[in-house]
Amino acid sequence: MAHVGGRAADADMSGRATDPTRALGNTVTYREAVAEGLARELRRDPAVVCLGEDIGAAGGVFKTTQGLFEEFGPGRIWDTPISEQAILGLAMGAAMTGMRPVAEIMFSDFFAVCWDYLANEMPKMRYMTGGQVTVPLVVRTANGGGLGFGAQHSQATENWTLTIPGLKIAAPSNPADVVGLMASAIRSEDPVVFFEHKGLFASKGPAAPDGYVVPLGQAAIARSGSDITIVGLAATVPMALAAADRLAGEGVSAEVLDLRCLVPLDMATVLASVDRTSRLLIVEENPYQGGWGGTVASIVADEGFELLDAPVRRVAAACVPLPFADALEQRVIPTVDSVSAAIRALLAY
Amino acid sequence: MTTPTTAQDAIGASELLALYEQMAVIRRTEKAAHDLFLAGLVKGTTHLAAGHEAIAVGASAGLRPDDYVFATYRGHHHAIARGATPEECLAELMSKATGLCKAKGGSMHLTKASAGMLGSYAIVGAHLPLAAGAAWSAKLRGSGQVAVAFFGDGATNIGAFHEALNIAAVWSLPVLFICENNLYMEYTPIGSVTAVPNPAADRAPAYAIPAEIIDGNDVVIVADAVARAAERARSGAGPTLLEARTYRHFGHSRTDPATYRPPEEVQEWLQRDPLDIARARLAALGVPVEDAVAADDRANRLVEAAIAAARAAPPPDPSGALTDVWADGGSQWRT
C-alpha cells in the first residue's frame, strides 16, 4: 500500500536543523577530522598516547595521523612493528596502569590477527576481576569497502565487535562526528572500538566547533521525514541521505537516522522514529548474515511491532567475500541504487 | 634496594625465613585447592602451582611493592606472593561472594590489582604484551616501576611471546619476562615441540634480550636474579628474560594425573622441592629447625582458618552477574 503523495513539504524539512556544525560549511575532510580529533585530546590530556604502524613520521597510511608526530613528538606518537597483538596488548597494559592509549589497527580486517585482545582480554578484564581493573583505551581502525582493496582489506567488520559484550563501538559518518565521538571515546573509561570508514576519508563536512563532544550512544536524525525510517551507520548514512534526496523527487519523505554507535545502541531514537513513520529500512555494510541490523530489527520486532505498517527490511552486504573489481564490489555492498529500490519496495508494501 | 653482589648477600636469615613461610602458605593453599576440588567444593578446573613456589616468592622479594606482575592461569602462587590472602583465593575458587574477584573470575583469573598483581590470564601468552604495555606506561610516566610477565614454557611457541619480546627490546621497556619452565606444555614434553633446548632463553638472543637460566626451585637464586634484572630495567637498559627451571607436583590441571612423566624424573624433582631447598639454606645460615617448623605451623593454621572462612562465606548474589562490565558498574548496552 503506497502512500507517497504530498510529502514534498516534509522533504524540504530535511537537513540538520539541530546540528551545531550546520552553519560552518563543508570545510574539512573526514581524514583531517581524525587527526584533529586526536590532536585535541592529545593537547587536553597528557595521558593520551598513540601507537600503531606508520602513524608517526609517515602520518598514517591513510594520512589520518598527519601532523601529530610533528606536534607531539615520539614520546606521544609511537610507531610500532607489524605486531597487531603487541599493539593492542601494549595499549591494554598501559590503559590498566594510568594511560589513555589510542591504538591503530591499519585495516579492520586485521582484527582477526589480534582478536584475542578484542574478544578475550579488553572486554573481559573488568568483569572477571570483579571490577578491580579498568581499560580506558581506543582501538581505531579503517573499515569498509568501496575502494577496490580486495577481500582482505575491504570488509566492514563492525558486526564482529558487536558480538563481544564489553566493547563500545563508534562509527562516525561525517567529519564533525569524527571529532566529537573521538573525544568521547578517548575520555571513556571503557574500551572503545572506533571505526573510520575508508570510503569516507575524502568526504567533506563542517568542522567541529571547539570543545565539540558527541556522547557515545546518541543517534542523530540526519534527515527528518515522515514516510519511512532509514537507519544507517558510517558510510551508509550518506548513502541513505543520497537515496532519500533522490526519492524526495518522487514525493517520498524519508527520515535518516545515523546510529553513530552500535554500543551503546540508541534504540530509543530508532523506536521513536518508527513510531512516526511506521516503516523501517536498515542499511548496513557488513554481511546480512550476522549483521548489526539483525539486532536492530529484532528489538523493533519485539518492542515496536505495533508501530509497524510493513515488514522491517535490511539492505546489507551479500554473504560473500568482498570482490576486487568495482563492478563486482558494487554488486555485493549496499549502494544508493539498492537502497532506493528498497525504499520504493517498502513504501509499496 | 642495593644491588646484591651474590644471592647470599641479598637475603639474610630472617628474610629467608619469611620467604619460606610464604612458600609454605602457598603449598598448603594449593593442597587445600586440590582437596576442596576432590570434595566437590571447587567448580571448573584448577592449575596448581605446587612446586613453583620459589619463583613467585623469590620474584616478589626481588621487586618493589609498586611493581606490576602478570600471571597465567597457573597463578595462585603469584596472587599470594603479591599479597592476596589464602582466604580470598580459596573463596574465589569456591564461588563465594568474598572471593578475590567476587566469584566472577575463578581459579584461572586471580587478580589483586591493589597490590600490583594485574591478573591471571588463561589465553596462553596473551599477557606478555600486557606486561610490556604496563612497562611502557611506567616509562611514559617516569615512575621507575617495572612489570613482570610470568609464563610457562608452552607460551614460548605462541606469537604474542615473540611480538612482546621484540617490541620490549626495541622500545627498551622496563619489563621482565620470567619463564616457569616445568618441562611440559600441558601434557607434552616441551622438548618435543621446540627446536632449541631452552625454550625461552634460546629465543631471547634473536631479540637482543639478555637471558639467564636459573634454578627456579631456589628462592634465593630467583630473588637475586629478579632483583638484578629489575635494577637493570629501572636503569633504562631494557628487558631481561629469565628461564627458571622447575617442576609441577601435580598434573597440568585437575583432570591430569600426569602419567606421561617418567617416575624417575618425578622422583628426581621431588628431591629438589623448593621448600626443602629453602630449609637447607636456613640450616646453613644457622636458623634452628624449630623456627622452620614454627613457620610451617603458622602456615597450616592460616590456611586451615582460610578454608573454614571460605566454606562459611555466602555465595554471590545472582544480581552481581550483571554488574562490572562497564566502568559505571553496569552492563547496559542499549537505550
pLDDT in tens, A281-307: 999 999 999 999 999 999 999 999 999
The DSSP string of B131-167 is HHHHHHHHHHHT----EEEEEEGGGGGSHHHHHHHHH
Contact present, B233 and B197 (Cβ < 8 Å): no
Quote the mean pLDDT of chain B: 96
What is the full per-residue pLDDT of chain A (349 aa) written as tens digits?
A: 333 333 333 333 333 344 555 555 779 999 999 999 999 999 999 999 999 999 999 999 999 999 999 999 999 999 999 999 999 999 999 999 999 999 999 999 999 999 999 999 999 999 999 999 999 999 999 999 999 999 999 999 999 999 999 999 999 999 999 999 999 999 999 999 999 999 999 999 999 999 999 999 999 999 999 999 999 999 999 999 999 999 999 999 999 999 999 999 999 999 999 999 999 999 999 999 999 999 999 999 999 999 999 999 999 999 999 999 999 999 999 999 999 999 999 999 9
Phi, psi for B60 (deg, rounded to 5): -60, -40
Between the alpha carbon of residue A327 and those of residues A240, A331, A335, B150, B186, the distances in Å are: 20, 7, 12, 52, 51
Contact present, A145 and A157 (Cβ < 8 Å): no
Q: B93, B100, B140, B170: which to substitute to probe chain A, counting the most A Cβ within 10 Å?
A: B140
DSSP annotation of B208: T
* Coil, strand or helix at A193: strand
Last residue of a domain, one of A176, A205, A234: A205
In a domain? residue A1: no
Q: What is the pLDDT of residue B255?
A: 85
A271 in the same domain as A147:
no
- Find where cell 634460546 sits: B202
A189 in the same domain as A62:
yes
Alpha-carbon gap, residue A185 to A168, rounded angstroms: 9
Contact A132 B68 (CB under 8 A): no
Quote the number of domains for chain A: 2
Alpha-carbon gap, residue A125 to A131, rounded angstroms: 8
Contacts of B112 by beta carbon, 8 Å cutoff, 6+ apart? A132, B79, B82, B83, B84, B100
ipTM: 0.96
Catalytic residue among A36, A41, A84, A158: A84
A262 in the same domain as A153:
no
Chain B interface includes A102 (CB < 8 A): no
Q: A42, A50, A83, A97: which to substitute to probe chain B, counting the most B Cβ within 10 Å?
A: A97
Contact present, A262 and A169 (Cβ < 8 Å): yes
Chain A interface includes B89 (CB < 8 A): no
The domains located in chain B, with CATH, are 7-308 (3.40.50.970)
A229 in the same domain as A154:
no
The whole domain housing A246 covers 8-20+217-347
Phi, psi for B121 (deg, rounded to 5): -115, 135
A157 in the same domain as A264:
no
A36 in the same domain as A183:
yes
A252 in the same domain as A134:
no
Q: What is the pLDDT of residue A4?
A: 33
Query: A149-186: string of b/e by CB count within 10 Å (b at 16+)?
Result: beeebbbbbbbbbbebebbbbbbbbbbbbbbbbbbbbb
Say how many C-beta atoms besides its own lie within 10 A of residue B311's C-beta: 14
| pLDDT tens, position by position, B198-231 | 999 999 999 999 999 999 999 999 999 999 999 9
A288 in the same domain as A228:
yes
A258 in the same domain as A180:
no
Task: State the cell numbers at A143.
Answer: 573499515
Cα–Cα nearest to A210, from A72, A16, A38, A40? A40
Contact present, B129 and A113 (Cβ < 8 Å): no
Q: Answer whether the bond into residue A172 is a cis peptide, omega within 30°.
A: no
Contact B114 A129 (CB under 8 A): no
Contacts with A97 from chain B: Cβ below 8 Å: 68, 118, 133-134, 137-138, 147
CATH number at residue A128: 3.40.50.970
A155 in the same domain as A295:
no
Contact present, A130 and B324 (Cβ < 8 Å): yes
Cα–Cα nearest to A174, from A235, A252, A125, A240? A235
Phi, psi for B72 (deg, rounded to 5): -100, 180
Q: How far is CA A122 from the centre of its chain?
A: 20
